[in-house]
Amino acid sequence: MTIYDCQTCGACCCNRQENRLEHFHDYVQVFAEDALQAHPKLLVRLARQNKERQWHLKLKPDGSCVALDGEVGQSVGCTIYELRPQVCKNVQPGDSECLTARRERGLSVEPTG
């Protein structure tokens, strides 16, 4: 069953409200086993290391991931879809992460199909 259309959403590609309020910018972690780690130039462009030397994807001023193209809630695409970290793959349309993200961005949580 189709639940939500990710290509008109992108809410889970945005830092959580709770994090933003605490000025916490580490959102999507890029782990050693993630394919993006095998592309050092791209990794440095899209991610940064924190004090613990963990890599996280950079965020735009509006809190969305730098790899996200388009406008949240309208039309979006992941510019590194094949290389996106596992934590991105873990979110599934309709799961609790998805619903929380959509609510935070003012998007419907009613199934569309």
C-beta of 23 vs 72, nearer to ligand SF4: 72
Identify residue 87 by its one-letter amino acid code. Answer: V
Give yes or no for residue 10 binding ligand SF4 (CB under 6 A). Answer: yes
93-101: long-range contacts, CB 8 A cutoff, minimum separation 24? 93/3, 93/4, 93/6, 94/3, 94/4, 97/12, 98/4, 98/11, 98/12, 100/16, 101/11, 101/12, 101/14, 101/16
What is the closest distance, in whole angstroms, from the C-beta atom of residue 21 to ligand SF4 in the complex?
19
Give yes or no for residue 11 binding ligand SF4 (CB under 6 A). Answer: yes
Name the segment binding ligand SF4 (CB under 6 A); options: 15-23, 37-45, 47-55, 76-84.
76-84
Give yes or no for residue 65 binding ligand SF4 (CB under 6 A). Answer: yes
Give yes or no for residue 91 binding ligand SF4 (CB under 6 A). Answer: yes
Strand-pair partners of 70:
76
Q: Which residues bind ligand SF4 (CB under 6 A)?
A: 4, 6, 9-13, 28, 57, 65, 67-68, 78, 80, 84, 88, 91, 93, 98, 101-102
